[in-house]
Amino acid sequence: MNQLESLKHHTTVVADTGDFLQIAQYQPRDATTNPSLILKSALKPEYAPLLDDVLAHHRHRALDEVVDRLLVRFGTEILRIVPGRISTEVDARLSFDTAGTVARARRLIALYEAEGVPRKRVLIKIAATWEGIRAAEALEREGIHTNLTLLFAFCQAVACADAGVRLISPFVGRIYDWHKARAGAQWDEAAMAGTNDPGVQSVTRIWMYYKRHGIATEVMGASFRHTGQILALAGCDLLTISPELLGHLAATEGAVPRRLVAEAAAAADLPEQHYRSGDEAAFRFALNEDAMATEKLAEGIRLFCADARRLDALLAGR
């Protein structure tokens, strides 16, 4: 048995890519996309006919709608391959606009439904800002399920649970990046591996907190830098993994032991939250107290916005 096959005994494996031509060989249940992944795929020559087809049918529409139709086209193609769900992201430029996020999410769902895809197979990805969490809360009440992304802080995870979010995507690799950069020459890669990895520890704390309190929100570790981080989170509800790392796991023989065990949640040493559900000021203060989360959330939104603009330019130029 290879590591990918073994991991699937403990965790739902999700493909983190917009390149649907790569997905089938790894047999993931779900798939996730974001503006950067869609842009990366859209620039490949093999996807030029897909872009041309979307533009041929919709070039007279507003650019933001053409982008949404392209996202849905990629998502629909991916859903022909995976048996589960696709995560499609709302434009990151709406990260601080609750009403705008809700409207964009409704349009994405309507476009999927027009293609015959039921809403239960779609997760709308939204940045885990205060405004994004409020948008997700409203959407969940409408039966539109959400995936809250760019999640770095424990307070974000608690707020998402309070809002009834279907799934969260804490970013392992970007947390690791921040701590490694901050430590500089003092960083000891071997000592900070496995369960000592700060990104792994963040996801573990959130997962344990959810299990201890019976929270139904799914935890999906994301943004991995190497397979060691993935293996250290075996047992997490879901893990979304790039094709490159899926390939490494598939090429490596060996059993993967379960690392996250729900029975351990009762005894886990977990931080407590000291703000009331829906308390915006307390949420913002708690997020501000976490320098890593504050910096990485802002940086992540900027990067996704930059790639959204590049995707706009690519479509406009064609």
Q: What is the pLDDT of residues 103-158, one digit of tens each?
A: 999 999 999 999 999 999 999 999 999 999 999 999 999 999 999 999 999 999 99
For the chain, the first-to-last Cα distance in angstroms comes to 46
Q: Looking at the chain, how many residues does it have? A: 318
pLDDT at res. 275: 61
Dump strand ranges (E) for 81-235: 86-89, 122-127, 146-151, 167-170, 218-221
Q: What is the pLDDT of residues 227-256, one digit of tens each?
A: 999 999 999 999 999 999 999 999 999 999
Domain boundaries along the sequence of the chain: 3-317
pLDDT at res. 272: 73
pLDDT at res. 274: 62
Distance CA 21, CA 96 (A): 34
Could you identify the residue written with the tokens 């504050």?
294
- Nearest C-alpha neighbor of 58 from the set 39, 34, 50, 36: 50
pLDDT at res. 35: 85
pLDDT at residue 300 above 70?
A: yes
pLDDT at res. 231: 98
Q: Give CATH for domain 3-317.
A: 3.20.20.70
Distance CA 294, CA 308 (A): 21
Q: What is the pLDDT of residues 61-103, one digit of tens each?
A: 999 999 999 999 999 999 999 999 999 999 999 999 999 999 9
Q: What is the pLDDT of residues 207-223, one digit of tens each?
A: 999 999 999 999 999 99
pLDDT at residue 2 above 80?
A: yes
pLDDT at res. 59: 87
Angle between helices 130-141 and 154-162 (to 10 degrees): 30
Catalytic center residues:
125
The mean predicted confidence, pLDDT, of the chain is 96
Q: What is the mean pLDDT of residues 28-55?
A: 93
> What percentage of the chain reaches a pLDDT higher than 70?
99
SS3 162: helix
Q: What is the pLDDT of residues 264-289, one digit of tens each?
A: 998 888 877 666 678 999 999 999 99
Instruction: Tell me the two tokens of residue 204.
Output: 């573990």
